[in-house]
Amino acid sequence: MTLFEFCGCLGGVLGAICLPMLLHPLWGWLGTAVGIPVGFIGGLCASSGLVALSDNVAIRSERNRRRRDLRDCFGSYWSKDQTPAWERELQSLRVGDEVSGKVVRKYYYGVFVDVGRGFPAMLAKLYSNQDTLDADPDVGTEIIARVREFDSNEHIVKLSQKEDEPSNNDVQATS
């Protein structure tokens, strides 16, 4: 069970308990009978919405922190002004192409690499050839990897060091 599902169920149960307690003094047993399903559905929706909102806030803050950290190396790579340059990048670089570059930032989910093309390249832990998930290349380390896919929303090249990745024709830009 995910956190989202757990919080939704918890909110539903609390709503099914609290609303009938509030309605019973007003309408008696009818208030209780109506309050249970309405409280459950209302609590489910409210708590699920709060979890979704907090998740969205966390994702946005992480993305903004990453953009701020990478601005020194790549400028405002995510901006709409960079879209023509990103489109040229998509034409010159293909999935499966081998690239090399220097690690510029390290995060809990992987590393960002400067491959000399003006846009960041991300090597996620899942696609790294490191023996353990804790062993990421250090900042300043040169790495070699293959292009796995393109994130056109964020203007990020995604890399892999795994040998069993798809060929050039299997995956292209994501939107």
Collapsing DSSP to helix, strand or coil, 153 comes out as coil
DSSP-assigned beta bridge partners for residue 124: 110
Using the predicted structure, report yes or no on whether residue 112 has a pLDDT greater than 50: yes
Predicted confidence at residue 132, as pLDDT, reads: 54
Alpha helices in 75-174 (DSSP H): 83-92
Q: Distance (Å, rounded) from C-alpha 23 to C-alpha 32? A: 6
131 or 125, higher pLDDT:
125
In 3D space, the residue among 131, 133, 129 whose CA is nearest the CA of residue 162 turns out to be: 129
* Residue ranges of domains in the chain: 3-71, 75-160
Percent of the chain at pLDDT above 90? 40
Q: Distance (Å, rounded) from C-alpha 93 to C-alpha 74? A: 18
For residues 127-152, average pLDDT: 80
| Range in 24-28, 81-85, 162-166 the model is least confident about | 162-166
Using the predicted structure, report yes or no on whether residue 71 has a pLDDT greater than 70: yes
Using the predicted structure, report yes or no on whether residue 175 has a pLDDT greater than 80: no
Predicted confidence at residue 99, as pLDDT, reads: 92
Using the predicted structure, report yes or no on whether residue 104 has a pLDDT greater than 80: yes
Q: Distance (Å, rounded) from C-alpha 80 to C-alpha 32? A: 55
At 133, the pLDDT band (50, 70, 90 cuts) reads low
SS3 content of the chain, % helix, strand, coil (to 5): 50, 20, 30
Predicted confidence at residue 41, as pLDDT, reads: 93
Predicted confidence at residue 131, as pLDDT, reads: 58
Domain spanning 75-160: CATH superfamily: Nucleic acid-binding proteins (2.40.50.140)
Predicted confidence at residue 170, as pLDDT, reads: 46
Predicted confidence at residue 171, as pLDDT, reads: 45
Predicted confidence at residue 136, as pLDDT, reads: 72
Using the predicted structure, report yes or no on whether residue 134 has a pLDDT greater than 60: no
Predicted confidence at residue 168, as pLDDT, reads: 45
Across the chain, mean pLDDT equals 85
Using the predicted structure, report yes or no on whether residue 56 has a pLDDT greater than 90: no
Q: Which helix (H) or strand (E) holds 104?
A: strand 98-107
